[in-house]
Structure 1
Amino acid sequence: MSRSAAALLLSASLGAWAAPSPLPKEVQTLVDQREACDHYRGQRGFDAERQKDIDWSVCQSCPGTDAELARLKQKYKGNAHVTQALAGLEPRVEPDDKAAQAKFCQATRKPAGVR
């Protein structure tokens, strides 16, 4: 094997190793949404105004993610790359009382400056 062919083969092998294939769009969307949800769930407002902002952000990013996570785990159960990406997400972050959650979220308001 020529030197350039060996270098090309090594380069291709390292490139495949270093850059995993991208996640399906619906999986990446859930991962991003859950990261936002987890970020805001972990915060407490230092005053009432900041707590309202956090509450609104939780209501925008968390609802529906438990069911979507379960659906995607089932859909991609044979895909190790997706299974690994979803494995680190908590299976249940939403409250059991969906009606109370919906009522709470309806009462939150969008923070000033958010489009």
Structure 2
Amino acid sequence: MGRTELYREIGEELGQEIRSRVESSYGDKMILLVERHDDKEDVYTYGLYVESWFLAFIKLNASSGGLRFITQPKLQDVRDIHCVDKVVGVEVRTINAMFPDEKEAVRLAFEKVDEMRKNTLAV
């Protein structure tokens, strides 16, 4: 996936203001976390470490599916979204479901943040 397509996706899912900020200031800081290719699709999942104030600029649209914060220990409880009824969705708000490649990307992102913290403390 090229940068143009990635920025377009960011704009569609998180809003144009986030897209502009990422494109102008953070584009070179994005990390490819998961890359998967099969006969049906090519999947690329990127991560970006930002400060908490940055989240205020996110503007989800109706098709984004929502945004939930999750801690590293709770990641193991996340269910495979393929096992959720597509019509009904996740009925209980305490249950989180994700695509397996997205769950893997979040796991890797937590590892990267842990690594960054260790490197910062070691200096």
Q: Same fold (TM over 0.5)?
A: no
Scaled by the length of structure 2, the TM-score of the pair is 0.22
User: Normalized per residue, which structure has more strand?
Assistant: 2
